[in-house]
Amino acid sequence: MNHLLIIGCGNMGGAMLAGWLAAGEAPARFSVLDPALPQAPDGVALYRDAAEVPGTHDAVLLGFKPQQLGQLGPGLQGLTAGRTVCSLLAGITIAQLDAAFPQATAHIRVMPNLAARINKSPVILSQHGLDEAARAAAFALFDQLGSAVWLEDEAQFDLVTALAGSGPGFVYRFIDALAGAACDLGLDEATAASLALATVEGAAALAAASDVSPATLADRVASPGGMTREGLNVLDADAALRRLLAATLAATRDKGAALSQGS
């Protein structure tokens, strides 16, 4: 994967490109095919039409919406033939990628999140057709965006996507809800927003650096009979928070299956 053509460089593709450049990759290693992107980073070639692409790439990254695969796929055959196809298309399986791009040499499903921009994203990978050297090269590229991991059971990909790909959206909603709840109880909006964000940032950093589980850290914050314990009792009652998140992840996972069916 010496030269990657990014086809559709929206929020996620743009975050990945920014992450690679921040990690020190040469801009010339990447090019972009996107008719709507205002401009590409310095040194990254930008093409508006597939006919303009010189064909010097050896891999492509599909960054458009999964619902567009049927419409756009036929026009991308020349750009994918003999190359590795990497896909950000949620719900689209390797078998579907193989059917859409039968002349590709290999297919990789890739699921990062927007923290790729700051090289802090988990990156889930599942593949078919890579030899050991190509597998190692793909891992090395995507691992620069945070921490890559191969998922050997593709049947779990939609669930892992719900957790690690969509998960930041749920965390952002929690931060917003934490601040909003403080506002409802009388704190001014600016102070509530600032404190909620700083609290979650610090807690996440400590959890990442700790040698104990988040559950243990929660118990360390909550002394018996204290304020934190009283709040945790609300979250823990009837496993309310866990059941809510299980329903959230299930709905997200199931949407992946629906996307693979074109709905």
Residues recorded for the chain:
263
Tally of CB atoms within 10 A around 181: 12
Q: Strands of 121-128's sheet, edge to edge?
A: 45-47, 30-33, 4-7, 59-62, 84-87, 106-111, 121-128, 146-150
Average pLDDT of the chain is 95
* Cβ proximity of 119 and 20 under 8 Å: no
Which domains does the chain possess? 4-157 (3.40.50.720), 167-260 (1.10.3730.10)
**What average pLDDT does this structure show over 175-190?**
98
Strand partners, 128: 107
As a whole number of angstroms, the distance between CA 254 and CA 91 comes to 9
Helix axes 240-260, 227-236, angle to 10 degrees: 50
**What average pLDDT does this structure show over 166-189?**
97
Return the pLDDT at 262. Answer: 72
As a whole number of angstroms, the distance between CA 108 and CA 94 comes to 7
**What average pLDDT does this structure show over 117-135?**
96
End-to-end CA distance of the chain: 32
pLDDT digits (tens, 9 = 90+) for 144-171: 999 999 999 999 999 999 999 999 999 9
* Cβ proximity of 131 and 122 under 8 Å: no
Q: Taking the model in full, what pTM does it have?
A: 0.89
Q: Is 79 left (phi over 0), alpha (psi -120 to 50) or beta?
A: alpha
Return the pLDDT at 263. Answer: 60
Return the pLDDT at 168. Answer: 94
Neighbouring C-alpha atoms within 13 Å toward the C-beta of 199: 16
pLDDT value at 190 more than 70: yes
Which burial class, exposed, middle or buried, applies to 202 when counting CB atoms under 10 A from its CB (0-12, 13-18, 19+)? Answer: exposed
pLDDT digits (tens, 9 = 90+) for 224-255: 999 999 999 999 999 999 999 999 999 999 99
**What average pLDDT does this structure show over 206-221?**
95
Residue 36 has phi, psi (to 5 degrees) of: -110, -15
**DSSP helix, strand, coil percent of the chain (3-state; round to 5):** 55, 15, 30
The CA dihedral of 243, 248, 254, 255, to the nearest 10 degrees, is: 170
